[in-house]
Homo-oligomer: A and B are copies of this chain.
Amino acid sequence: MQLALSSSTTTVTVEAAERLGFVDLTPLLEREVALAGDGFAIVFSRHTTCALVVNELEDGARRDLKARLDHLFPPSIYYAHDDLTIRTQNLQEGERANGHAHVAQMLMGGTSHTIPIANGELMLGRWQRLLLVELDEPKPREVVFRVYPA
């Protein structure tokens, strides 16, 4: 069967409870794909200090990720991004000390995912959930869902 595209776009705004908290976006995305038949969803984070991961929603795994990120990207060490004695670019009122979160995001990636849809359902495996991981202090985060039926 051949179908022309007619995409839909939804931007959701969510906020984690704490630094390195998870927000489960799966139910929000499931709602958007229910009418999509066999298609795909693009999910896109509009931010530089949070990440989208597809993994299990389990408190222990979240604590483990927090422990590893704090070990690999310690908030306590020097970050040039946070050094206001030398920084000249992109400065704004109330600039946060979030250099560790920028570096973690660059290494983690997680700006976009593309998820196939079959019969109006995301083709996720048994334990997979679409999670927003807040790498900075909590604030409202916009995630774009663009759904293509086909």
Q: Is the CB of B6 within 8 A of A2?
A: yes
Smallest CB separation, A21 vs chain B (Å): 14
Q: Is the CB of A107 within 8 A of B40?
A: no
Contact (A7, B105) CB under 8 Å given A46-B123, A124-B46: no
**What is the count of identical protomers in the complex?**
3
Q: Is the CB of A53 within 8 A of B109?
A: yes
The A interface is mostly helix, strand or loop, or mixed, namely: mixed
Across-interface contacts of A112 in B (CB, < 8 A)? 54, 113-115
Contact (A4, B2) CB under 8 Å given A42-B40, A64-B81, A64-B103: yes
25 A-B pairs whose Cβ atoms sit less than 8 Å apart in the complex: A5-B5, A5-B150, A7-B38, A7-B39, A40-B42, A40-B146, A44-B115, A44-B123, A45-B125, A47-B125, A48-B55, A48-B125, A53-B105, A54-B112, A55-B106, A58-B81, A58-B89, A60-B79, A60-B81, A61-B80, A64-B102, A68-B103, A107-B107, A108-B109, A109-B109
